[in-house]
Structure 1
Amino acid sequence: MFIYYQIRNHHYRTEAVPAVTCPLCNHRGRMQMSILQKYTWLAGPMAPSAKYAIAWCENCNQYIPRVKWTDEMDTTYVQLKQGLRTPARLYRGLWVLPLLLVLLVGGILAAISISSGNSRANQAFVLDATLHPKPGDIFQVTHSAGQENFYTWYKVSRITADSVYMQEAKEHAVELNDLDDIPATASDFQSSEKSFSLAETRSLDGMFAKDENGQRAFDLVFGVWRDGKLHKKY
């Protein structure tokens, strides 16, 4: 994670100090001194540091390094910064940043709430579709029968009084995420049908089940494709 911030300068004043001698060219009367203060900018100004000065000579046109400052220059600096108070606005970011954090956290919580609401609505839709299937529905399922487990699709071909008949896809999905690649044509599904009892499906709370090859097979539904839209439990 990266946090972008800047170090900026607040300028208080620039004064001519003719009584000060330049320690570089030894010329008096051409010195200038500015009083400044550094502060951090992160969604607003904050954390101002101590005030400092920059001095330069108009005669030799050079800035005076801090290590070259004379006692005379130090005294002048102290006099110039007397009475200068740090503006309250340099602390404004201390209020702005918490506000931005509150807005960020609020936005995240709102997004989670919306996502959770959508998830619950989808779960209810998938359960209802499983209990009340329609011809043309395509269910995403994980098939389990003994040691056999795989992901596949079932397409509802017809419905009778208490049974739903479905055609299994010819190709199985390799991973769970592959189930979102819904088979598009009739040729993608087997011509033979599997029948499931709707009464048993309702008793299993939305899971298809039947006997296959002498053992009980279960098909857990993850989602349903209906009317051109995919509805997923998770």
Structure 2
Amino acid sequence: MYIVYEVRTQEHKTVAHPEVTCPLCQQQGGVHIAIRQRYIWWFGPMCPTPKFGIAWCERCDQKIPNVKWSKPLEQAYRNDKSSVKTPLRLWRGMLVIGGLFATLSVVAMVKTKMRAVDTSAQTEYFAHPQVGDIYYAHTGGELKVEGNSASSVNQVYALFKVVKVDGDSVFVVQGNGSRVSTAGNIINEYTSGFWDGIEKETTAYSATPVIISHQSMTQYRFFTPLPRLKDATPGGITQIKRPGK
């Protein structure tokens, strides 16, 4: 991560000191002192450094190095510096950054609370299925074994609507909008807009119900059709939506 910023210099004031003798040319009437201050510019001015002075002489047209400053020049600099206060505007960027971080913190808190509410609702839906609930799920498919590796193929991703609940059995019917994941075309359900696309395509549901185990739903969030086939692998429920909620 890179942070790009500028170091700028604020010149507060320049004062002429005709009473001070230039330590370079030994003449009076040409010494000037400028009081300056550096600060960082990033979303505005911030982090001003201590003030400093630059002295030069118009008589000899030279900058006077600090190591050459005489005691009268040092005293004139201290007097000039003491009369200059750091303006509050040089801290303005800190207010912007502080406001930005405060806004991000509030947004993060709101999102965290929304996720907590959503998680609580999903837990309730898993624990107490109701007729009309819509499951965004895949059926698990079939187990395919090749050498020392195994994978699931022919998984059907679709919306399933609850039409009946009877003990441990939850009866659902499959929507007509679906995706099939095969060995040659593996589906990633977390792709942006994946479930939105299936939801938009689903205009009707099958009349033939599929029975799934409520116990496997609550314990593992599995979508396990009953009776379970020999080579079937457990499906999964990504989310549940309850109409009107």
Shorter-normalised TM range? 0.5 to 0.7
Determine the C-alpha separation between the residues in 2 that align with 1:65 and 1:138.
83
Distance 1:64 1:134, change over 3 A: farther
1:159 maps to a residue whose letter is K
Q: Which residue matches 1:60?
A: none
Shift, 1:119, TM fit:
1.5
Instruction: Quickly say closer, same or farther: Cα 1:222–1:170, change in 2 above 3 A.
Output: closer
Aligned counterpart, 2:61: 64
Q: Which moved more, 1:118-127 or 1:84-93?
A: 84-93
Other-structure match for 2:184: none
Letter in 2 for 1:64: D
Structure 1: how far apart are the matches of 2:29 and 2:91? Answer: 43
Task: Give the distance between the partners of 1:144 and 1:45, measured in 2 at CA.
Answer: 58
Q: Flag the 1:108–1:18 CA change in 2: closer, same or farther, 3 A.
A: closer
Measured after TM superposition, the shift of residue 112 of structure 1 is 3.6
Look up the match of 1:207.
222
CA distance in 2, matches of 1:56, 1:196: 97
Residue 183 and residue 226 in structure 1: after superposition, are their counterparts in 2 closer, same or farther (change >3 A)? Answer: same
Within-5 A mapping of 1:180-199: 180-186=196-202, 191=206, 193-197=208-212, 199=214
Q: Distance in 2 between matches of 1:152 and 1:204?
A: 21
Aligned to 1:36: 35
- Give the partner amino acid of 1:39: R
Give the drift of 1:82.
4.3
The aligned residue for residue 179 of structure 1 is 195
Task: Report the Cα offset of residue 222 of structure 1.
Answer: 1.6
The whole-number CA distance in structure 2 between the counterparts of 1:39 and 1:54 is 19
**1:100-134 CA distance string (max 9 Å, x none):** 77776665554444323222221222233344144
Counterpart-to-counterpart distance in 2, 1:214 and 1:221: 21
Q: Which residue of 1 aligns with 2:146?
A: none
Q: Partner of 1:232 in structure 2?
A: none
Distance 1:88 1:45, change over 3 A: farther
Aligned length: 214
Per-residue CA distance 1:80-102 (angstroms, 9 max, x = gap): 32433456843979998888777
Query: Alpha carbons of 1:92 and 1:3: their partners in 2 closer, same or farther (altered >3 Å)?
Result: farther
C-alpha displacement at 1:156, in angstroms?
0.7
Distance 1:142 1:54, change over 3 A: farther
CA–CA distance in structure 2, aligned partners of residues 78 and 227 of structure 1: 80
Whole-Å separation in 1 of the counterparts to 2:113 and 2:200: 29
Gap regions ≥5 residues in structure 2? 144-150, 182-186
Which residue number in structure 2 is paired with residue 148 of structure 1? 152
TM-score for the superposition, normalised by structure 2: 0.60
Q: Is the Cα contact below 8 Å between 1:133 and 1:156 reproduced in 2?
A: no
**1:223–1:84 CA distance, 2 compared to 1 (3 A):** same
Percent of pairs with identical residues: 9
Q: Could you list the runs of 5+ residues in structure 1 that have no partner in the other structure?
A: 58-62, 230-234
CA–CA separation in structure 1 for the residues paired with 2:218 and 2:241:
23
- Give SS of 1:2's match: coil
The TM-score with structure 1 as length reference comes to: 0.62
* Root-mean-square deviation over aligned CA pairs: 4.6
Please give the secondary structure, in 2, of the residue aligned with 1:183. Answer: helix
Equivalents in 2 of 1:33, 1:155: separation in Å? 84
Q: Following the alignment from structure 2 to structure 1, what is the Cα–Cα distance between the partners of residues 55 and 234?
A: 79
CA separation in 2, counterparts of 1:151 and 1:53? 80
Bigger shift: 150-159 or 190-199? Answer: 190-199
Could you tell me how far apart the structure 2 residues matched to 1:206 and 1:114 are? 27
> Which residue number corresponds to residue 120 of structure 1?
116
What residue is the counterpart of 2:240 in the other structure?
224
